[in-house]
Chains A and B, each alone.
Chain A
Amino acid sequence: MSARPYRVAPVSESMIRAVGLRKSFGDFEAVKGIDVDVRRGESFGFLGPNGAGKSSTMRMIAAVSPISGGELRILGMDPAVDGPTIRGRLGVCPQEDTLDNELNVRDNLYIYGRYFGLPKGEVSSRVDELLEFVQLTDKAKAKVEDLSGGMKRRLTIARSLVNRPDLLLLDEPTTGLDPQARHVLWDRLFRLKQAGVTIVLTTHYMDEAEQLCDRLVVMDKGLIVAEGSPLTLIREHSTREVAELRFGVAEDGAGHEALAEKIADLGERVEVLPDRLLVYSDDGEEVIAKVHERGLQPIAVLVRRSSLEDVFLRLTGRTLVD
Chain B
Amino acid sequence: MSTTTDLSLVEGMRRQSDYWLTVYKRTWKGSIISSFVSPLFYVLAMGVLLGGFIEGDPDKLEGATSYLAFIVPGLVAAHAMQTAVGETTYPVMGAIKWHKSYFAQLATPLAPVHLVAGHLMFVLARLATSCAVFMVVLVPFGVFESWWGPFLAFASQLLVGMVFGALVFGFSARLRSEEGFGVLFRLGVFPLFLFSGAFFPVDNLGSVGSFLAKLTPLWHGVNLSRMFSIDEVDWALAGVNVAVLLVLLVVGWFWAVSGLTKRLVT
Contacts and interface: CB of A to CB of B under 8 A. Distances in A.
Contact of A115 (B4, B22, B103, B105): B105
Contacts of B11: 117
Interface stretch (A88-96, A256-264, A310-318): A88-96
Interface in A99-114: 99-103, 107, 110-112, 114
B18 interface: yes
A14 interface: no
A101 B108 CA distance: 19
B215 interface: no
A277 interface: no
22 contacts: A25-B266, A64-B264, A64-B265, A65-B265, A83-B2, A87-B109, A88-B108, A90-B107, A94-B104, A100-B99, A102-B26, A111-B22, A112-B104, A114-B18, A114-B19, A115-B15, A115-B16, A115-B19, A115-B108, A116-B109, A117-B11, A120-B18
A167 to B, nearest CB: 12
Given A84-B111, A96-B100, A112-B104, A63 B2 contact: yes
Contacts of A92: 107
B101 interface: yes
Contact of A111 (B1, B18, B100, B111): B18
Contacts of B110: 84, 115
A242 interface: no
B7 interface: yes
Contacts of A232: none
Contacts of B100: 96, 98
Interface in B197-246: none
B106 interface: yes
Interface residues of A, number: 36
Interface string B249-266: 000000000000000111
A98 B264 CA distance: 14
B4 A98 contact: no
B129 interface: no
Nearest to A62: B107
A84 B109 contact: yes
Nearest to A84: B109
Contacts of B31: none
A85 interface: yes
Contacts of B107: 62, 64, 87, 90, 92, 94
Given A65-B266, A98-B104, A100-B101, 11 more contacts: A62-B107, A64-B2, A81-B4, A83-B5, A87-B108, A90-B107, A94-B104, A99-B104, A111-B22, A114-B17, A117-B15
